[in-house]
Amino acid sequence: MKIKVNGRLIEIFKGATAKDAARRFLVTQGQSLNTLHTIILHDSYGHEIDLDAPLYESTEITVIPRSINESKL
């Protein structure tokens, strides 16, 4: 299925979660998967979503890096 992450179209398997999409996005951007625990995910309405949130065809999410202070909480 195709979804948008930070405005970029990516293809991911059916039944994927937000974590799967974030992982795919980070890899395509050349970023370390170690940053996966330091991101916040938002849906197309700006609501924060959980890493386990299910995704559907044409879903749009935004990956936002947490500030250093926030990631210590």
What average pLDDT does range 59-70 have in this prediction? 80
> Whole domain around residue 34: which residue ranges?
2-66
Q: Is the pTM of this model over 0.95?
A: no
Task: Tell me whether residue 35 is in a domain.
Answer: yes
**DSSP result, the chain:** -EEEETTEEEE--TT-BHHHHHHHHHHHTT--GGGGGGEEEEETTS-EE-TT-B--TT-EEEEEEPPHHHHT-
For the chain, the domain total comes to 1
Task: Tell me whether residue 59 is in a domain.
Answer: yes
Task: Tell me whether residue 72 is in a domain.
Answer: no
Task: Tell me whether residue 52 is in a domain.
Answer: yes
Instruction: Tell me the CATH number at 44.
Output: 3.10.20.30
Q: Given this model, what pLDDT does residue 70 score?
A: 55
Task: Tell me whether residue 73 is in a domain.
Answer: no
Q: Which two tokens stand for residue 3?
A: 């979804």
How does pLDDT run across 1-51, given as a tens digit for each residue? 999 999 999 999 999 999 999 999 999 988 888 888 889 999 999 999 999
Q: Which two tokens stand for residue 65?
A: 């890096």
